[in-house]
Amino acid sequence: MQEALIERFHELFGAGGDIRMYFAPGRVNLIGEHTDYNGGHVFPCALTIGTYGVARKRADRKLRFYSMNFKEAGVLESSLEELKPDKEADWTNYPKGVIWAFGKKGMAIDCGMDLLLFGNIPNGSGLSSSASVEVLTGFILKDLFGFEVTNQELALIGQYSENEFNGVNCGIMDQFAIAMGKADHAIFLDTATLKYEYAPFELKDARIVISCSNKKRGLGGSKYNERRGECESAFAQIGEVIGINSLGDLSEELFEQYKESIKDEVCRKRARHAVYENQRTIRAVEALKKNDIRLFGELMNASHVSLRDDYEVTGPELDTLVEEAWKLEGVIGSRMTGAGFGGCTVSIVKEEAVNDFIEQVGKAYKERIGYAADFYVVEAGDGPKRLL
């Protein structure tokens, strides 16, 4: 594959010069959904699928982009003087946003570049193809231009670019999980402090199975920002009666004691999810440390119920994938993952049951929804790296 990408780069942009190749993973969140912008904990891992990039500096200030995933768009040109969101060249807003963000952080790019991308993460799936491109671009800029920047700083720059350039109020989890990925480990991250620890995630007789609903959704056009606003309203009201920095500071008991201070019933439901999901995530990691994979799976299931009933971000596609998974022997736990409104589920499935899982869940999904789901058996992988 690497040779094919280099060959295509030559065809599009010409041979010669210092051509380099890079990779940044996608990510899946095992538990802790919609907690990252509420000051709670998350538990994601980087994946072994992700985004490949081939890059080379230019002598001028021109930027040329090409994606193997959007071939019909052809080569899209911009320049360092034209770093602004462009609806007509949608996907380029992610690398352009990171270049812009580097400049805002005092690391101005002094010349243009040619960039070819290829991702084997399904677009719009909830496995963070956009954050993968952001971290990849940041890593490329770090390497090509010699900037002194840590992977954790790359995550923050990626989040900043998505918030300020692309107008999506995402939390830090996606970029952090991708930039800080470690093979066979998940990351237990306190999003309020960025304190984190790696937890071994080696499933001896089980696998992680991603089920992609193939219902596309765009974060900016979804109700993601609306949910965030509802949580901010809930926090403002409950914060008036109890001194907290975020909803993530609340235990379940404290929430129940003061929940009536949140006057709007919908906002109260959103806050309940944020508080209970945070506590579930803490308990899930404790269970994993004790090798109690059964409890970990039960907490995954409870997470989905909360996302369905209190946060209302699942929908018939994700609910079908999860409910069909719950029916099967050998499924330890299953839940939606990502922002919701389409995208993917994550399931932990006994190794001997994986083929039946894919066949039976896939069959039931197509019968009920009308089109097929895709399935990926994945592993926890490393963060970004230079390949050539």
Distance, CA of 242 to chain centre: 32
Look up residue 149 and give its two tokens: 């920047």
Q: Is 18 a catalytic residue?
A: no
DSSP character string of 91-120 = GGHHHHHHHHHHHHTT----S-EEEEEEE-
**Residue 71: φ, ψ to 5°:** -60, -35
Helix axes 354-369, 315-326, angle to 10 degrees: 140
Look up residue 343 and give its two tokens: 């995208």
Residues sharing a CB contact under 8 Å with residue 374, sequence separation 6 or more, in sequence order: 122, 211, 212, 214
Strand partners, 24: 51
Residues sharing a CB contact under 8 Å with residue 226, sequence separation 6 or more, in sequence order: none
Q: How many other CB atoms are there within 10 angstroms of residue 129's CB atom?
A: 24
Rounded alpha-carbon distances, angstroms, from residue 330 to 181, 272, 355, 356: 28, 30, 11, 9
Q: Which of 334, 336, 383, 330 is nearest to 355 (CA)?
A: 330
**How many Cα neighbours within 13 Å face the side chain of 378?**
31
Rounded alpha-carbon distances, angstroms, from residue 364 to 71, 199, 321, 357: 33, 34, 8, 11
Pairing of strands 41-57, 20-31: antiparallel
Q: Which residue carries 């052809």 as its tokens?
A: 74
Q: Contact 210/375 with Cβ under 8 angstroms?
A: yes
Catalytic member of 90, 110, 143, 174: 174
Rounded Cα distance, 31 and 44, in Å: 7
Rounded Cα distance, 96 and 85, in Å: 8
Pairing of strands 195-200, 76-79: unpaired
- Annotated catalytic residues are 174
